[in-house]
Amino acid sequence: MLKHSVDNRIFQGLREKMEQGLLPQWIFTDPHIYELELERIFARTWQFLAHESELPEPGSYVTRWMVDDPVLLVRTNSGEIKAFLNSCPHRGTQLCTADFGKKKAFTCPYHGWTFNLDGDLIGVVAGDKVYGEEMKKDEWGLRPIPRVERYQGMIFGNLDPAAMPLDDYLGDMKWYMDIILGRSDGGMEVRGLPQRWVVHANWKVGLENFAGDPYHVQTTHRSTVELGISPQDPLYAGYGHQVVLQNGHGINVITATAPGKPQRPPYQGLPQEMWPMFERNLNADQLKVFAKTTVFVGSIYPNLSFNSPVHGSEGHLHNYLNVRLWRPLGPEKIEIWSWFLIDKAASEAYKEAAYKGYVGSFGPSGTLEQDDTEIWARIVHASKGHMARSKDLSYNNLLNYLMGLERVLPDETFPGPGVAYPTCYLDAIHRATHEYWLELMSKEEESAGENGCES
């Protein structure tokens, strides 16, 4: 059925339009596209699971989701981090229903099978009497998530055993992650739990909004300009560089300062006593970029985004890292997970001020956050009909991704890796992200067939 509605002819048509900077409205809400995304994108790419500070000691665990796969993430007695399908291999019951906690072993409430932190089956109720000595317990451990790897404390999982290593997948994004996550001694830590809420939106819209859309700031968040919280200059979120990276990733390195205007305080206004740490932990080019930056905002394909902004006024500036996961719940619904991270090495007073700044701005009640989700929901509302959904690409249902196309050229002098353009008001990342989407979507399932996960 799927193949009839979304076939290669459709993808060929898409490719031609995307080369012209156009993207059909229906790729955001079409149910067939969504089903194919689950197979060809989410079953093959690296998805964020947790930050390692969420698993502080042996026995710590959190439960997470990779779209619809429940995941149990634990720190073992040897300090290793392991991820399992959170489903008992005996009858499939969800094994652990708590969000987080600490345990020595997990016992299934259905028949009492018990697993240790390494996922080994260590207890079967009346085992020898009912299964006999021939039961091979080592064949009935928890099913591992095929691949779990981490970078700068960020733990990712992949359902495809043949996936490229996380290091290769992140590519040059690692250079920027070093700045955002690895600048200070001890790295970052998560405060409390992620906030979670459900929004009528497609996962690609959340991804786009953080990956390459500083252009929306001046209109979507104009209420904060009216209040005097954000600058008046309609170009302010555009100053800096938009950097296109490999595998659909992208980052905006925003200086928020017009050329020739006085520079903002260096290092995102972080306290001067922390600067020597940056010099220790970063190389000269990273320092140069970091010194000038006010906001880092971007996305790691497919559904992880981050925002590292500056709030407050002169003398009381604070910075933090907000990490967002857009968990798809269907073509028109996402569960947003939003983490607050802060430098472990910062003072308690600084951490507290930064946390309050986050809750008031980018948390779900935030003065900046509120309006985004309202607008994303309106995309869904307006994209259900025949005109928006027609795959003949008639009715002019092609959306405009033309900003800067063949008009803005890369800035060869930018010190960081990737293709850096000298403005953030640009659709370069969006175009690259959707090209990667098309590449994954049109790839036949050569490896999926072998793994037997093709239905």
Partner 1 sequence: MKTAVNPELQFHITNFLHYEAFLLDSRRFTEWLDLLADDIVYRMPLRATRERKDGATIVEDMTFFEESKTSLTTRVNRLGTTSAWAEDPPPRTRHFVSNILVESGFPNDALTVRSCFLCKRSRAGEIEAEEIFGERVDVLRNVDGQWKIAARTIYPDQAVLGVKNLSMFL
Within 402-441, which residues bind partner 1 (CB under 8 A)?
none
Q: Does 65 bind partner 1 (CB under 8 A)?
A: no
Cis peptide before 259 (omega within 30 of 0): no
Stretch 284-343 residues interacting with partner 1 (CB under 8 A): 335, 340
- Taking CB under 8 A as the rule, does residue 195 contact partner 1? yes
Q: Which is nearer to partner 1, 38 or 382 (CB)?
A: 382
Measure the CA–CA gap between 300 and 246, rounded to whole angstroms: 10
- Shortest distance, position 192 Cβ to partner 1, whole Å: 3
Q: Alpha helix locations (H) across 29-137?
A: 31-37, 127-131
Kindly report the number of other CB atoms within 10 A of residue 278's CB atom. 20
Half-sphere exposure of 326 (CA within 13 A, CB side): 28
Site for partner 1 contains 19 (CB under 8 A)? no
59, 102 Cβ separation under 8 angstroms: yes
* CB 312 to partner 1: min, Å: 13
| Least distance to partner 1, CB of residue 16, Å | 35
Region near partner 1 per CB under 8 A, out of 176-184, 244-252, 360-368, 384-392: 360-368
In the block, tokens 């555009």 appear at 238
Q: Which of 226, 285, 450, 454 binds partner 1 (CB under 8 A)?
A: 226
Residues 6+ away with beta carbon under 8 Å from 229:
367
Q: Is 110 in the site for partner 1 (CB under 8 A)?
A: no
Element (H, E) at 440: helix 428-441
Least distance from C-beta 198 to partner 1, angstroms?
Answer: 6
User: Among 31, 92, 101, 161, which residue sits at the site for partner 1 (rule: CB under 8 A)?
Assistant: 101
Q: Single out the residue of 110, 131, 197, 395 in contact with partner 1 (rule: CB under 8 A).
A: 197
CA gap 377, 373 in Å, rounded = 6
* Cβ–Cβ < 8 Å for 394, 13: no
Does 359 sit near partner 1 (CB under 8 A)? yes
Per DSSP, the three-state class of 167 is: helix
How far apart are the C-alpha atoms of 104 and 423, rounded to whole Å?
A: 52
Please pick, from the candidates 15, 104, 222, 261, the single residue that binds partner 1 as defined by CB under 8 A. 222
Q: Is position 230 an interface residue for partner 1 (rule: CB under 8 A)?
A: no
Task: Report if residue 227 touches partner 1, rule: CB under 8 A.
Answer: yes
Closer by beta carbon to partner 1, 220 or else 246 = 220
* Residue among 291, 375, 438, 453 that touches partner 1 (CB under 8 A): 375
Tell whether residue 20 is a contact of partner 1 (CB under 8 A): no
d(CA 100, CA 116): 16
* 97 near partner 1 (CB under 8 A): yes
Binding segment for partner 1 among 150-158, 371-379, 392-400, 403-411 (CB under 8 A)?
371-379
Stretch that binds partner 1, among 41-49, 221-229, 250-258, 444-452 (CB under 8 A): 221-229
| 384 near partner 1 (CB under 8 A) | no
**Amino acid sitting at position 48:** F
> If you search the block for the tokens 């809420």, which residue do you land on?
197
The three-state DSSP-derived secondary structure of 255-307 is: CCCCCCCCCCCCHHHCCHHHHHHHHHHCCHHHHHHHHHCCEEEEEECCCEEEE
Contact region with partner 1 (CB under 8 A), list: 27-35, 215-223, 399-407, 434-442 = 215-223
Task: Give the shortest CB-235-to-partner 1 separation in angstroms.
Answer: 18
Min dist. Cβ of residue 207 to partner 1 (A):
17
Classify strands 22-24 and 147-151 as parallel, antiparallel or unpaired. Answer: unpaired
Q: Which listed residue (7, 56, 68, 102) binds partner 1 by CB under 8 A?
A: 102
Q: Is 270 exposed, middle or buried (0-12, 13-18, 19+ CB in 10 A)?
A: buried
Give me the residues that bind partner 1 (CB under 8 A), please: 97-102, 191-200, 219-220, 222-224, 226-227, 229, 335, 340, 355-356, 359-360, 363-365, 367, 369-371, 373-375, 377
